Amino acid sequence: MSNVYGTLFKISTFGESHGPAIGVVIDGCPPGLAIDEAFIQSELDRRKPGQSKITTQRKEDDVFKILSGVFEGQSTGTPIALVIENQDQRSKDYSHIAETFRPSHADYTYEAKYGVRDYRGGGRSSARETAARVAAGAIAKLLLKKHNVEINAFVSQVGDLAAPHYTTLDLSKTEDNIVRCPDPSTAERMIALIDQVRLDRDTIGGVVTCVIKNTPVGLGEPVFDKLHAELGKAMLGINAVKGFEYGSGFEGVKLRGSQHNDEFYNDEGRIRTKTNFSGGVQGGISNGEDIYFNVAFKPVATIMQDQSTVDKHGNETTVSGKGRHDPCVVPRAVPIVEAMAALVLADFLLRDKTTK
């Protein structure tokens, strides 16, 4: 009862890592939207494994198929179902975890909650499920493009290597390197760090920053469904995320009101703010300035080292990662962050229509 997301632009994902397929049903996409399949595929390609030496070497092509809701290239207002078949279903790699709980994975909690689980590749808790979100997010992006909204995420930190503030960067350069950091020199050091971590048979965390430009004024709902609260929920729902902050974030607590307040001015007829500690959201509603936020990802739990654990019978044992895993999740998390942000914005775009 937790696989449906969104109020009006509603998605319902399904699928396990090693089942026949994963997919998503989008209910509420407005009719008449041109569905650019090449764009959807390109978004999936940004997320897929095997992209570079710093991601898992597992090969999955993540080819999607549209089953419904699109007619002659346009959305019809009916549910859009997309399916991605699982090609790489080698279950043999997972026999060692059928009964053993991997540390900091979802194995134990799923077992405790449900009493049964598809342990192959993490089953439903696998990050593979996020491919369905990326596909749905691509369609949300197509809707947002019609409204001129731009969403750009990038890797702003790996371990303790941090890029400068986004306002100093050229975000069009994000895709120029394999770590997806638009600052070339930081990118180089990040790649070297991840490579070293991989050689150490270890993993490391990082931060993805997301910037949303040209949001219309007025999106978001006050009280519980504040724009930033939904963004926060959407980001915290991504595997391995440990924190979310927007605008001034945790650093902002150190400031005084006189420093932190964003004064208004009249910019040739448009009301704008001189600074943007608010991160483009005030009272839960967009004010037209850049929306920006940071998402913290923990180090990947699967490491190529022996760790102590217990099995489902309570016996103490050890477990080690096998197969092909990411040493750092953030480069592939960039399109996922964008997709979830797009889903949030598309939903609020539709919700706002009901206040007019």
Residue 65 marked in a binding site: no
- CA-to-CA separations, 82 to 118, 142, 152, 191, 331, in angstroms, rounded: 22, 15, 24, 33, 24
CB of 234 to a copy of itself, least distance (A): 8
Residue 95 marked in a binding site: no
Q: How far apart are the first and last CA of the chain?
A: 32
Residue 201 marked in a binding site: no
Nearer to a copy of itself, 213 or 272 (CB): 272
Residue 53 marked in a binding site: yes
Residue 63: Cβ within 10 Å count = 13
Nearer to a copy of itself, 172 or 269 (CB): 269
CB of 180 to a copy of itself, least distance (A): 15
CB of 177 to a copy of itself, least distance (A): 19
Nearer to a copy of itself, 81 or 345 (CB): 81
Residue 91: Cβ within 10 Å count = 13
Residue 58 marked in a binding site: no
Q: Are 92 and 121 in contact (CB under 8 A)?
A: no
Question: What DSSP element (H or E) covers 41?
Answer: helix 37-47
Residue 125 marked in a binding site: yes
Residue 49 marked in a binding site: no
CB of 242 to a copy of itself, least distance (A): 5
Nearer to a copy of itself, 57 or 320 (CB): 320
9: burial class by Cβ within 10 Å (0-12, 13-18, 19+)?
Answer: buried
Question: What DSSP element (H or E) covers 145?
Answer: helix 130-146
CB of 236 to a copy of itself, least distance (A): 4
Q: Are 153 and 211 in contact (CB under 8 A)?
A: yes
Q: Are 198 and 327 in contact (CB under 8 A)?
A: yes
Residue found under tokens 């390109």: 42
CB of 284 to a copy of itself, least distance (A): 7
What's at 204, amino acid-wise?
I
Residue 302 marked in a binding site: yes
Nearer to a copy of itself, 159 or 323 (CB): 159
- CB burial of 25-54 (b: ≥16 within 10 Å; e: otherwise) equals bbbbbbeebebeeeebbebbebbbbeeeeb
CB of 172 to a copy of itself, least distance (A): 25
Nearer to a copy of itself, 78 or 170 (CB): 78
Nearer to a copy of itself, 74 or 170 (CB): 74
Residue 5: Cβ within 10 Å count = 21
What's at 93, amino acid-wise?
D
Residues making up the binding site for FMN = 124-126, 239-240, 283, 298-302, 324
Residues making up the binding site = 47, 53, 124-126, 239-240, 283, 298-302, 324
Residues making up the binding site for NADP(+) = 47, 53
